[in-house]
Amino acid sequence: MTKTKLIALMGASTLGMLMTASAVQAQQSGYLSILVDNGPQSIATMEAWAEAYKAMNPDVTIDIEVRPGGGEGDNIVKTRLATGAMADVFSYNSGSLFQAINPTQNLLPLTNEAFQDGVQDSFKSVVSAGGEVYGAPFAPAMGGGIFYNKPIYEELGLEIPTTWDEFMANNEAIKEAGKVAVIQTYADTWTSQLFVLSDFYNVLAEEPDFAEKFTANEAKFATTPAALRGFEKLQEVAEAGYFNADFGAATYADGVRMIAMGEGAHYPMLTFAVGAIAETAPDYLDDVGFFAQPGDSAENNGLTTWMPDSVYVAANTASPDLAKDFVAFIASPEGCDVRNEAVGATGPYMVAGCELPADVPPSVSDMLPYFQEGGQNAPALEFLSPVKGPALEQILVEVGTGSRDAASAAALYDEDVRKQAQQLGLEGW
């Protein structure tokens, strides 16, 4: 049995399809422990997968454990891996944070599993180390940018901005109308990072080799004007008084509700929030749109993209074959269908055969042109460099609250990066 309370169940059609598929697959038996972060859509997705897998394999017992997100969650994952107390299967970041958990020692390689034939190479590259592939996509790809409330835009006659100046002009019009222009939710400190992280497309537009130089200790945020702009943008928005009055105490869940219900006009966030909106405010899902964080030039407007989190198998699992079979199910079209029904479609999948429903929410359809032929997108820095200082969220809270300016924040983050790069043993540091 699965010992977690289900948040979302599969539709009957998907369950029937999976039961049919199970007839031609060898049934599994045994026990699996699973660790997942505490995001509502993460829990709902994993629980739906567990129930679907059990429908095909009734002799399998699955227990799901939930951990915090952010820095606290990072520490839990690292500690449990280091002590040999990790669950059989767990979800965690890809990219730089994946590299920081010593994958070659702590994880079971999945390189030669048949399901990897359907996983896009761009995803494999961010869950690979030492010539081996260790993960499977937990979710679709994401964009980092600005959710906006469509009724507010319609009421005030605003156009989607393609430059930072246009964005700030929209914010001023929204403020003058007596509304919250920009939602911030610093009770969950990780949410403070979006103005900086989502600006990386704009950094690369001006400094195409920034990631390589940054990794080699040849470029800094504080001394690269294009990279400093993200810090400056946060400071500009804060100093203009565009935030919600309770931004220091507001949570991510508050932000999702506010943008959906028109309690604020803009919410800088990753597009995985579409799932949270669908769960917490489903009647308002069509009221939320999305656009890329604007740069300083309309001629080069594009989206900073994130590879999804990954599902991994702990190296010391007592059930390696069962764990790999469960991960293979997750990384299948059937697994994608289960996810769609559990939390809805949030972006383009990284698995062949996984399709988005025709009736995706506006915030998802707004994102898709950036991924299509002729669209402009670039990966976030954490997928081009193994270096991401862990203190960024706390530093940016200081910028947002006015206790630190952009320049000193960027310099402090560069020092945070230096410490992490040295811990990783990177050359040049």
- Do 182 and 291 fall within a single domain? yes
- Range 154-159, long-range pairs (CB < 8 A, 24+ positions): none
- Residues 288 and 259: their CA atoms lie apart, in Å, by 7
Please indicate, yes or no, if residue 365 is contained in any of the structural domains.
Answer: no
pLDDT of residue 17 exceeding 70? no
Could you tell me if 290 and 312 lie in one domain? no
* 186, part of any domain: yes
Residue type, 211: A
Read off the CATH number of the domain in which 334 is found: 3.40.190.10
Tokens of 270: 């990753």
291 with 337, same domain?
no
Tell me if 261 is assigned to some domain.
yes
Q: Which amino acid is at 84?
A: G
Give yes or no for residue 203 having a pLDDT over 60.
yes
DSSP annotation string for 282-293: GGGGGGEEEEEP
| 269 falls within a domain | yes
Give the position of tokens 């062949």.
352
**Same domain? 74 vs 151:** no
Residues 222 and 77 in one domain: no
Beta-carbon-side half-sphere exposure of residue 340 (alpha carbons within 13 Å): 23
The answer to whether residues 150 and 22 belong to one domain is no
Q: Is residue 316 part of a domain?
A: yes
Predicted local confidence at residue 359, as pLDDT: 86
Q: How confident is the model at residue 75 (pLDDT cuts 50, 70, 90)?
A: very high
DSSP conformational letter for 372: S
Whether residues 301 and 321 share a domain: the answer is no
> pLDDT tier at 394 (50, 70, 90 boundaries)?
very high
Give the pLDDT confidence score for residue 15 in this predicted structure.
Answer: 45
| Total tally of structural domains belonging to the chain | 2
Shared domain check, 136 and 147: no
Identify whether 352 is part of a domain: no
Residues 35 and 101 reside in one and the same domain: yes
Mean pLDDT on 62-68:
97
d(CA 409, CA 425): 24
User: Where on the phi/psi map is residue 266: left (φ > 0), alpha (ψ -120 to 50), or beta?
Assistant: beta
Structure tokens at 28: 């599994």
Phi, psi of 222 (to 5 degrees): -70, -25
Answer whether residue 5 shows pLDDT above 90: no
Question: What is the reported pLDDT for 7?
Answer: 26
Q: How far is CA 44 from the centre of its chain?
A: 16
CB 49 within 8 A of CB 338: yes
Percent over 70 (pLDDT), the chain: 94
Angle subtended at Cα 147 by Cα 412 and Cα 308, rounded to the nearest 5 degrees: 70
Tell me the residue range of the domain where 385 lies: 143-306+372-424
CA distance 368 to 32: 36
Please report the sign of the dihedral spanned by the C-alpha atoms of residue 170, residue 176, residue 177, residue 182.
positive
> pLDDT digit string (tens) for 279-310?
899 999 999 999 999 999 888 899 999 989 99
Residue 117: other Cβ atoms inside 10 A: 7
Model pLDDT, residue 27: 87
Residue 183, Ramachandran bin (φ over 0: left; ψ between -120 and 50: alpha; else beta):
beta
Same domain, residue pair 51 and 130: yes
Gap between the Cα atoms of 67 and 214, Å rounded = 32
User: 173 and 153 in one domain?
Assistant: yes
Asked if residue 2 belongs to a domain, the reply is no
Per-residue pLDDT averaged across 356-374, rounded? 86
The answer to the question of residue 98 being in a domain is yes
**For residue 25, what pLDDT is reported?**
59
Nearest of 199, 209, 189, 252 to residue 398 by alpha carbon: 189
The last residue of a domain, from among 343, 364, 393: 343
Q: How many other β-carbons are positioned within 10 Å of the β-carbon of residue 386?
A: 18
Average pLDDT, the chain: 92
Give CA–CA dist 410/230, Å, rounded.
Answer: 9
- Res 213 pLDDT > 70: yes
**Confidence check: pLDDT of 328 > 80:** yes
Within this chain, do residues 283 and 205 fall inside the same structural domain, yes or no?
yes
